[in-house]
Structure 1
Amino acid sequence: MLALLHTSPVHVPVFDALRDEEAPGLPLRHLVHEQLLGDARELGPAAVREDVLRVLAEAVDRGADAVLCTCSTIGAVAEAASASLGVPVLRVDRPMAAAAVARGRRIVVLAAVASTLEPTAALLRDEAGERPIALRGVLVEGAWDHFASGDTEAYVTAIARAADALTDVDAIVLAQASMAPAAARTTTGVPVLASPRLGLRAAAALVTAGPPGTDAAR
């Protein structure tokens, strides 16, 4: 079973649909904790470490074979908990980051929430390793207000426009899972990468593989 840690309920149907396409039959357990993002934005991701660990430990106790954290702001905190939990914990944007650095060195991170910019940039640097990359962070002003008010159309449109305005770039990274629909709205010829599908696919593979040393993992 794959547990998913969300900080917004809007992700639940999105990942259910992706599961049906990428890993039919895979059991999912959705854990929605909106306050984690609010606290992380106000106090910093480190401030929610104990709360995240508690939520993830409960998921493991209830049978999770792996955990996917769909919030980029707290992704690194969740991922770091893997060692103490005994099951793999994947942040949803790591597979996207790997794909981005493979596209070229000039990468722009688009975000609707400022607290997501640095964690995403740190992840990209981590995936790049010794390869030199040129990172630029762009906050889509006003986009999060649209999301918070439930105006998804305005939210997606603002992000797509921001992506189309970028130049001199090899890849555009959409820093938050909620931004994914904007990728299909852009007209730029630059690859626009979103995290949900890539993240779900990678997390499903972790569950299918099983723990190291098991028959499933061979």
Structure 2
Amino acid sequence: MIIACLHTAESNIAIYEGAAKQLGLPTDCLLHHVRADLLFAAERAGGLTPEIEAETAAVILRLAQDADAVVLNCSTLGPAASLAADRCEVPIVRADCALAEYVGKSCGKVTVLCTTETTIAPTTELFEEAAKTTGAEIDVRLIYGAWVLFRAGKQEAYLAGIAEAAEAAYREGAKTVAFAQASMTGAAALLADDYPRPLASPTAALQAAMTAITAR
């Protein structure tokens, strides 16, 4: 079984490998491909354009030629997954969609934290749609200044800020906290012990990919 993962940050490779290990997947089952330029282009354009979406879909289709499933691990580029899926024979998993479907089963207030402004719109749409069946209250929040820290390579400060935002969300009544981007995953370990662990997309995405592969 080969699951191809399309990333927009090199650092997310280790995060996905860690999630695969937790799920008991073979060490060589993930195929990683990084296209940071696609996210940079979307950030410069102020969001996902039809041209960037088409290019992302083309990359997904190329990866699908050598994989049993493809995971798109970027919430900003997420809509390109549907575009590629219409022309692909293997499952295409949108990581934030897999997380939204999992979180959507929750009840009560769900706070979804983001660190990039370009992901707010697609993330809000996904999580609100997924929550319709349970009536969960979705609150999508941007952690201001966090992405600047990430781009500057200040990983410890980036994760610390995310952990603080997660604790604040719990104090304000959130029953569930979710991290919209894979790069945020490490912040879960920084929360005080009396807070629940926030949910992140890598595990949800790989579980969805495995389910889709076995269902074929």
Shorter-chain TM-score above 0.5: yes
Which residue of structure 2 aligns with residue 175 of structure 1?
180
Q: 1:66 to 1:181 in 2, by over 3 A?
A: same
Percent of aligned positions with the same letter in both sequences?
31
Deviations, residues 29-81 of structure 1 (Å, cap 9, x unaligned): 211000111122233224311101211121123x2111001111112222342
Q: CA deviation at 1:206?
A: 2.8
Tell me the secondary structure at the aligned position of residue 110 of structure 1.
strand
Which residue of structure 1 aligns with residue 124 of structure 2?
121
Matching of residues 21-170 of structure 1 within 5 Å:
21-22=22-23, 23-25=25-27, 27-43=29-45, 44-47=47-50, 48-61=52-65, 63-166=66-169, 167-170=172-175
Q: CA deviation at 1:143?
A: 0.9
Deviations, residues 85-142 of structure 1 (Å, cap 9, x unaligned): 1211111122322232222132212111011122111111221234433222221111
**Alignment size in residue pairs:** 209
Asked if 2 retains the 8 angstrom alpha-carbon contact of 1:169 and 1:190, the reply is no
Which residue of structure 2 aligns with residue 215 of structure 1?
none
Matching of residues 10-29 of structure 1 within 5 Å:
10-22=11-23, 23-25=25-27, 27-29=29-31
Q: CA deviation at 1:7?
A: 0.5
Structure 1 Cα separation of the partners of residues 173 and 154 of structure 2: 31
Aligned AA for 2:42? A
Structure 1 runs of 4+ off > 6 angstroms? none
Aligned AA for 2:114? A
Structure 1 Cα separation of the partners of residues 147 and 203 of structure 2: 22
Structure 2 unaligned regions, length at least 5: none
Aligned-CA RMSD value: 1.9
Q: 1:129 to 1:103 in 2, by over 3 A?
A: closer
Structure 1 Cα separation of the partners of residues 161 and 11 of structure 2: 18
Query: Does 2:201 match 1:198?
Result: no
Q: 1:136 to 1:20 in 2, by over 3 A?
A: closer
Asked if 2 retains the 8 angstrom alpha-carbon contact of 1:70 and 1:91, the reply is yes
